Structure 1
Amino acid sequence: MLRIPEMEFIEYFNAPIEKTWTTFVNHCGWDPWFTDGMKIDLYEGGQIYFRWKRLTQGQIVEDKGIVISIIPHKIMEFWWYEYDDGYRSRVKMTFQSDAARGTWVKIEDRVFVSNVNELDIAFGCAFGWGQMLCLAKAYIEKGVILI
């Protein structure tokens, strides 16, 4: 395995933690603002099914994962990005409210790649998290779906 640094993404949402949490952690996942037919089993060991169509120019892209842990209104952690030799991405999403009734969301992504030829896996994840947080912010704060 090639050792690459853990990626970290942080975004502030001008919304209560309850609303922010349920937008990210629910049975339908990140539909309708980012995915198209995502499903999450909301328990440790539960399955995650990712599906995109709108963001992939009509091509259906699917992946799956496994829930590692869920601590309500605090943490959701999961494996995803299935590859030939297993899952390549371990993600921890942390939710923290502040005094202004807003919510900080931090995404920590540990991506595993075998060699430099697989760095596109990490780059794709980095691009995707930034895009996902931007779309989530518009949806949570303004009720707008940008895709």
Structure 2
Amino acid sequence: MIETPPIEIMDFFHAPIDKVWNVFVNEKGWDPWFTDGMKMELIPNGKLYFRWERLTLGEVVEDSGYIIELINKKQISFWWYEYEKGYRSKVDIIFQSGEEGTWIKIIDYTQIFDINELSIKYGCAVGWGQMITLAKAYIEKGIILI
């Protein structure tokens, strides 16, 4: 494995923590604003199922994972990005209430095993940036951009 720093993305949402939490942590996952048929079992070791179609130009892309930790209105941690030996990516999404809204920090610890896999890490970074932008439009303006 090649040691690389985690991907860290942080943004502020002009919405109360209850609303932000419920958009990110719910049984339907990130539908309709980012995924197409995602499911979350909201318990430790609960299964995650990811499905994209609109963001992948009609190609159905699916993945799975499981929840490691779930702390109400504070943090959800999970493994995802399945490959032959397990999962490549551990993700922490941390929520913090602010004066006029909610801070979210996403930390992604994607594992790569040789230099040729750097594109996997870069792809995850781009995906999280896209995800947080789409979430912001949905939460703050009620707009679905995809």
**TM-score class normalised by the smaller sequence:** over 0.9
Is 2:28 the partner of 1:24? Answer: no
Match of 2:134 in 1: 135
Q: Which amino acid aligns with 1:26?
A: N
Match of 2:103 in 1: 104
**CA RMSD for the aligned pairs?**
0.5
Spell out, residue by residue over 1:44-94, the C-alpha distance to the aligned partner (whole angstroms, 9 max, x if none): 000000000000000000000010010000000000001122100000000
Q: Distance in 2 between matches of 1:48 and 1:91?
A: 12
Distance 1:120 1:80 in 2: 17
- Helix, strand or coil at the partner of 1:69: strand
SS at match of 1:137: helix
Q: What residue number does 1:59 align with?
A: 59
Write out aligned runs for 1:18-97 (5 A).
18-97=18-97
Whole-Å Cα distance in 2 between the matches of residues 31 and 89 of structure 1?
A: 21
Q: If the length of structure 2 is used for normalisation, what is the TM-score?
A: 0.99
TM-score by length of 1: 0.98
Q: What is the aligned partner in structure 2 of residue 144 from structure 1?
A: 143
CA distance in structure 1 between the partners assigned to 2:53 and 2:41 by the alignment: 21
Q: What secondary structure does 1:125 align onto?
A: helix
Whole-Å separation in 1 of the counterparts to 2:36 and 2:4: 30
Q: Percent identity?
A: 58
Residue 120 of structure 1: CA displacement? 1.3
State the alpha-carbon separation in 2 of the partners of residues 123 and 57 from structure 1: 19
Aligned-pair CA distance for 1:43: 0.4
Q: Provide the secondary structure at the position in 2 that maps to 1:105.
A: strand
1:99 Cα deviation from its structure 2 partner: 1.9
Q: Residue 113 of structure 1 corresponds to which residue in structure 2? A: 112
* Residue 124 of structure 2: aligned partner: 125
Instruction: Measure, in 1, the Cα distance between the counterparts of 2:108 and 2:13.
Output: 20
1:62 and 1:53 mapped to 2: Cα distance? 9
What is the distance in 1 between the residues matched to 2:118 and 2:80?
A: 16
Task: Provide the rounded CA distance (Å) in 1 between the counterparts of 2:7 and 2:134.
Answer: 19
Distance of 2:141 and 2:113 partners within structure 1: 41
